[in-house]
Amino acid sequence: MSNKISNYYSEKDLKRETTIDILLGDIFHIGSETHFKELPSRFAYYDSEIKLTDRYKRYDYVVSFLKSLTFEPSFSNVGREYEQSYILELIEVNKRYNFIVRVSPNLFIKIIFFSVEEGQKIPYEGFFNKLEIIKSLQDNCPSSYREIIRERKLKDILNKKETN
């Protein structure tokens, strides 16, 4: 069957869609990650990362993680049902670095980085993932902030040892 599909279609995505249609028919739809991000709600996804079932406890977990990285809530945060902003401002040798983390109600995270020298960029946009968030901060932060990240990593390692 796969040889027939390969002969008829040359594009990888079209082959994938055709194979899925043949195997599943019209019963299920498996979209791309872009399609998945456009869906209004993806609360269940976070159980694999956070391992909590209560929606608000998951949200509190994300907020406490951001606060442990010294992010401060924006003055305009209304509540968990709306997009929240968390801000981190770092100053190092006459240079100013700003990070803004936007947290959607479904815990979709967007990190915006800004400095006068480097301009604005988005180092991370996606599902809540501790390792990816820390990596994006490490790649864009000044050296003085790396100590805070190091402390957070050590805290995670020590917490894992205590639970084992």
Report how many domains make up the chain: 2
Does one domain contain both 21 and 96? no
- Sheet harboring 119-127: ordered strands across? 72-73, 84-92, 95-103, 108-115, 119-127
Does one domain contain both 22 and 98? no
Is residue 38 in some structural domain? no
- Token pair 């815990």 is found at 107
Q: For residue 17, what are the domain limits?
A: 2-30
Does one domain contain both 49 and 122? yes
pLDDT digit string, tens, across residues 78-105:
777 788 899 988 877 788 888 899 988 8
pTM: 0.66
Q: Mean pLDDT over residues 119-139, rounded?
A: 86
Does one domain contain both 86 and 153? yes
Is residue 131 in some structural domain? yes
One DSSP character per residue, 89-105 reads EEEETTEEEEEEEEE-T
Q: Mean pLDDT over residues 61-66, rounded?
A: 89
